[in-house]
Structure 1
């Protein structure tokens, strides 16, 4: 496995210079994004629902083919799902972990393989901490300001009342950046934080076009897309749906046999249609 050495970036990106107390220098591994590529932070709770997972896929799938990069914190939960979805849809992705970038302290340890997939796909890891800095309570809010400060916009997918991602949301407003919040189930504790931000006037996000229009994103030439060697042409969950279509099936029966959450299955079926893997006629799906 390639090691991807830690290097120092002495010139802080322009957007980061605009935040209070910007970092003096940054460490990175991999390939940093071109300066003309807009970056979007996608964050949310470590604990998430099937709804939150489906929304991540829905939004990032809608950004595929546009000149944009996805930034998140490599954490368990929505962060990791955002990186995975970006890789799956061949979007540039950059991870800002809560500690240093040395393999010995890379956090969380269970996402070390995900970190290497990001590097292999042409993305990067970025941190203002020393290479061997271990995570601590104070490192996460400091990391969040880098995530938000790097980006033209921040998307909050799902967040409880005390979620750390709400700190990032407040930073986005403080830094005068676009803030998008996904409306959530009013009965779900995992949506109380996001729904509260909507009450305070945050822009609701229900589809990728909300971001595409606000940031005036432009289509990306295919040659500029990062390719994730581990992702394959079809995501594993989508492949599971395809494997069930040895014969045409009604949508409800297909979802029942897949055991996938309905929201996630609907998103995957839409993607399979768009990519030409399946066709639907009168509610019946068949494999092409």
Structure 2
């Protein structure tokens, strides 16, 4: 086994986790005891993610690099693993809370054992309330409390309970991701979500959360505000001293650049949809998603009924 599993002393528990009404009996961990002077941001979303969801997570976490934030997620397939990898890539600490024990032979999903090992090697943490060799299960029995419970919702309460805010990226209406956001509301945590395309079922969950009062996230500044973190002072960098910020399109996909080139002058949304379909054969739903992503990246803005380059 490439990492050592220990019992996490109660004095080393996440402070917020001790405040919830159903805290775990014990916690096991591998790696470093987390730095609780940092804000804990839980990032969750669909296992069946879209390119929009992936790019949004990677972009936002990249923009959070350098701030006192730790990324928390569930090591699951999809958005969870994307969040962990983006944190590692941008040198942000990350904590994984799997719905299983932490032993490599029990860890769920098995395809992410190497990711778990990398998290530990890079100074991050694995945490679980389950016995190290206990595998994930849809139904489990607590012989002491004489209760039947489901391992993944139980795991979700730890993620929601320990974090200052929960960011929901993509989720269908029946997604387990929404369990985490519901628990976050019960625990009085900030619920954040990324608006998506009205044509995508993966946006149904976030849009429902917005109707219920979740904070819409358009960029990293919105996350920093929700976490009550001030923006870094960039000093007299070349960007600041040049008077006007130079727009960087290096991270844009070919499709995104096609939309950007349509905006040599401001256009109404329906004009963009029509031109994208006519000139580049981009379906309307995909164009809506591209516009949302470009706005999230701060490359375009909409005002007075027109969309223009930022």
Shift of 1:252: 4.6
Q: Is the counterpart of residue 200 in structure 1 residue 222 in structure 2?
A: no
Q: Which residue of 1 aligns with 2:196?
A: 184
CA distance in 2, matches of 1:144, 1:21: 12
Q: Is the 8 A contact 2:100 2:108 kept in 1?
A: yes
| Root-mean-square deviation (Å) | 2.9
Unaligned runs of 5+ in 1: 221-237, 242-249, 271-282, 284-288
CA distance in 2, matches of 1:102, 1:114: 13
Q: Is the 8 A contact 1:42 1:79 kept in 2?
A: yes
Q: Which residue of 2 aligns with 1:170?
A: 182
Q: Which residue of 1 aligns with 2:265?
A: none
Q: Which residue of 2 aligns with 1:9?
A: 8
Shift of 1:136: 1.0
Q: Which residue of 1 aligns with 2:129?
A: 128
Q: Which residue of 2 aligns with 1:225?
A: none
Q: 1:85 to 1:126 in 2, by over 3 A?
A: same
Q: Is the 8 A contact 1:67 1:218 kept in 2?
A: no
The CA deviation string for residues 150-183 of structure 1, in whole angstroms up to 9 with x for no partner, is 1000000000011101000011110001110111
Structure 1 stretches of 4+ moved >6 Å: none
Q: Which residue of 1 aligns with 2:60?
A: 59
Question: TM-score of the superposition, structure 2-length normalised?
Answer: 0.71
Q: Is the 8 A contact 2:224 2:231 kept in 1?
A: no
Question: SS of 1:179's equivalent?
Answer: strand
Unaligned runs of 5+ in 2: 139-149, 233-249, 260-279, 281-286, 298-308
Question: SS of 1:154's equivalent?
Answer: strand
Question: TM-score of the superposition, structure 1-length normalised?
Answer: 0.76
CA distance in 1, matches of 2:53, 2:96: 20
The CA deviation string for residues 52-84 of structure 1, in whole angstroms up to 9 with x for no partner, is 011101211111110110000000000000001
Q: Is the 8 A contact 2:40 2:72 kept in 1?
A: yes
CA distance in 1, matches of 2:197, 2:70: 28
Residue correspondence of structure 1 range 14-53 to structure 2 within 5 A = 14-53=15-54
Shift of 1:191: 1.0
CA distance in 1, matches of 2:231, 2:6: 31
Shift of 1:20: 1.5
Q: Larger Cα Rg: Structure 1 or Structure 2? A: 2
Q: Which residue of 2 aligns with 1:140?
A: 152
**What number of residue pairs does the alignment pair up?**
240
CA distance in 2, matches of 1:113, 1:133: 19
Q: Which residue of 1 aligns with 2:118?
A: 117
CA distance in 2, matches of 1:130, 1:179: 30
Q: Which residue of 2 aligns with 1:278?
A: none
